[in-house]
Amino acid sequence: MSNTIFKKLGLLFLVLVLSVVMAACSEDETTTTDANTNSDNGSANTDTEESSGLSGEITVWAHPYTDGSTGEGDMWKTFASDFEAETGVKVNFEQIPWANRDQKILTALAAGQGPDVFYVIPDQMPQYAEQQLILDISQYVTDEELSGFVPTAIEATSWKGKQYGMPILQTAESLIYNKNILTELGVDENSLPTTWDEFKALAEKAKAAGYYAFSYAGGGSLNNTLYPFLWQAGGNVIDEDNNILINKPEAVKSFELINEMYTKGWIPQDSITALDHDSLYFGGKLLAVNGSGISVNRLLAEKPFDFVIAPPLKDAEQLTYGTVGMFVGSAISKNPEAAAEFMKYVTNTDNQRTFNNITQYIPTRDEAKDIFDSQQYMAQLAEYTQYAKPGIIHPEGRNIMPLVQAEIQAMLEGKQSPQEAADKSADAIDKLINK
């Protein structure tokens, strides 16, 4: 009897043990299933972060590049969300006005705050680099990644052998002729001047027929007046080692050309201080201007006359002016690798197509220039970015301009020769950089 009881008790104990084990196995399976479910549904960014090696967040500042009616806001939302989906990095985007942008950026950086990524142009970049305010991204970007950009755009985003910016937009200026005047002068629009000498000959014909040949706005930026001629002559103003070059023979040729244009009446009498000659040009009294995409869009909108665009002129070299817009990283960014990755992301070929199609600037990647395949004039200007220098890349680039401008104005007033104007410009620059 007792053996039977012991057998029943032993069987009951075995059943209890098996029940406990099965329950434990069931709990483990449920826990594993729940963990997998949570991983699939709640940790997508974690998987992305692991694959990209990036995490956290960044703040990006940019400016309004349109009037706001072209989908610019939605574009930035898409860029931010797509970048987060690809990398796991959250992008906090803020659009800041153009007015007082330098002050806003410098104040924020000095306070140890501000953006991780922001927008600058070439005359700001070396100044910020010298002050160690922006990130050297050379360690984050390869030569292969830079190879798809227009070389002149890369020139504008580097300083002393280091890469600081990733270029997103570019412009190029070239001669835009009034076709009505060309017809009156008997000039074939397919055989327009390509050299200084050829342009001088055409300028004489225009003057004889009662027209000004060219617009020289002496009160405006040297990027649109002196510098294109200076570069075409093979000259420069100053290099990154502070060698002053503006009074070298090549550079002096540009001073001589401007003086000749003024004394012979090829440019208007108010060229010494004028800010523009729009009224003369749109009024049909001026043969040609150095214009960009903005000029083309205005001509197409107002239709004052038919026009034709010619390639930039050549003396020793074929060059012109064109700005470059770039994104740079803050040197105090707490997430520099993510900042650099966003800079590369927003300037890739597809995103350049999107950005520049909306803003109507020229992409800095040749592959993205196909957005202008159906726009004759913008396609032509896009071809000329290969000749477009972005101004004087130097920390004192902005401060140099008024010094040189004053000497050119004195030259045009007949107070000094071209050589004297160049020499005095050199002296003024020397005092500026050695103060």
Which stretch of DSSP H or E encloses residue 213?
A: strand 212-214
Look up residue 279 and give its two tokens: 């009224």
Q: How far apart are alpha carbons 306 and 346 in whole angstroms?
A: 37
Q: How far apart are alpha carbons 249 and 5 in whole angstroms?
A: 119
Q: List residues bridging with 158 in a β-sheet.
A: 163
CB neighbourhood size of 242 (10 A): 13
Dump the DSSP string for 199-240. HHHHHHHHHHTT-EEE---TTS-GGGTHHHHHHHTT--SB-T
Q: Is 65 left (phi over 0), alpha (psi -120 to 50) or beta?
A: alpha
pLDDT at 34: 36
Average pLDDT over residues 399-427: 98
Tokens 């970007």 -> residue: 141
Judge whether residue 22 has pLDDT over 80: no
More confident residue, 272 or 32: 272
Condensed to tens digits (0 to 9), the pLDDT of residues 103-118 reads 999 999 888 889 999 9
End-to-end CA distance of the chain: 115
Residue 4 binned pLDDT confidence (cut-offs 50, 70, 90): very low
Residue 51 binned pLDDT confidence (cut-offs 50, 70, 90): low
- Angle, helix 2-42 to helix 44-52, in steps of 10 degrees: 70
pTM: 0.86
Judge whether residue 70 has pLDDT over 60: yes
Strands 307-309 and 174-178: antiparallel
| Residue 181 identity (one-letter amino acid) | I
Q: How far apart are alpha carbons 170 and 153 in whole angstroms?
A: 7
Judge whether residue 298 has pLDDT over 50: yes
Condensed to tens digits (0 to 9), the pLDDT of residues 276-294 reads 999 999 999 999 999 999 9
In this structure, CATH architecture of domain 174-321+395-434? 3-Layer(aba) Sandwich (3.40)
pLDDT at 213: 98
Look up residue 51 and give its two tokens: 């694959």
Instruction: Kindly report the CATH class assigned to 56-172+323-389.
Output: alpha beta
pLDDT at 209: 98
Judge whether residue 99 has pLDDT over 60: yes
Average pLDDT over residues 381-400: 97
More confident residue, 97 or 19: 97
Average pLDDT over residues 341-364: 97
CB neighbourhood size of 97 (10 A): 9
Condensed to tens digits (0 to 9), the pLDDT of residues 205-236 reads 999 999 999 999 999 999 999 999 999 999 99
Which residues of the chain form CATH 3.40.190.10? 56-172+323-389, 174-321+395-434
Query: What is each CA distance from 390 to 21, 175, 320, in whole angstroms?
Result: 76, 17, 9
Tokens 């014909």 -> residue: 205
More confident residue, 182 or 33: 182
pLDDT at 52: 67
Strands 162-163 and 117-120: unpaired
